[in-house]
Amino acid sequence: MGASDAGPAYRIEEMIPAGAIADRIAELAPQIEAHFAGTRQLVVVGLLRGSFVFIADLVRALDLVVEVDFLEASSYGNAMESSREVRILKDLSAEIAGRDVLVVEDIVDTGHTLHHVLGLLAARGPARLETIAMLDKPARREVDVRATWTGFEIADEFVVGYGIDYAQRDRNLPFIGRVVLGE
């Protein structure tokens, strides 16, 4: 790619290898199966776009009847800062009243996105509503919200890969890496 379309200079340091992510999913899947044991059909809701890789791996690890749906909440452009204002850009296709729902998120950062989405979905009266996030940055929290299950807690660092982007790039990395600016 030419330098002119490369944006700011940065490099990526591997932080969580693909194998460690796979191992963690294999650990969490039985916990989710146990929690939702006996469900007729679990609605697994991926928050676009960052969860698309995680949800693909997660549903294949779950020995449950699942339905896959997606919801897109707005984020603050391409910047490294999360938005405090959350808008729904794409709503679910499924009706979730009386049903079991698992929300799949890439990262819980300030918590505003998850807090807003959970409030919206809870108001629709699901039977059970839980959340799994691949990453959690507790040091950044502004709203008191927690995922039911978390892949990894990380420090206040900007990360990419495994579906997560920096200015729409690097979602296709198989590992999770930290962005190091200016190099």
Collect all residues with Cβ–Cβ distance below 8 Å to 55 and sequence separation of at least 6: 44, 46, 68, 104
C-beta atoms surrounding 132 within 10 Å: 23
Residue 97 CB-half CA count within 13 A: 2
Which H or E run includes 27? helix 18-35
Nearer of residues 18 and 33 to ligand IMP, judged by Cβ: 18
Q: Which of 50, 161, 163, 177 binds Mg ion (CB under 5 A)?
A: 50
Nearest distance, CB of residue 39 and ligand IMP, angstroms: 25
Nearer of residues 124 and 171 to Mg ion, judged by Cβ: 171
Q: Can residue 131 be called a binding residue for ligand IMP (CB under 6 A)?
A: no
Is 109 one of the catalytic residues? yes
Q: Can residue 170 be called a binding residue for ligand IMP (CB under 6 A)?
A: no
CB 147, CB 160: distance < 8 Å: no
Query: What residues act catalytically?
Result: 109
- Residues engaged in binding ligand IMP (CB under 6 A): 50, 75, 82, 105-114, 158-159, 164
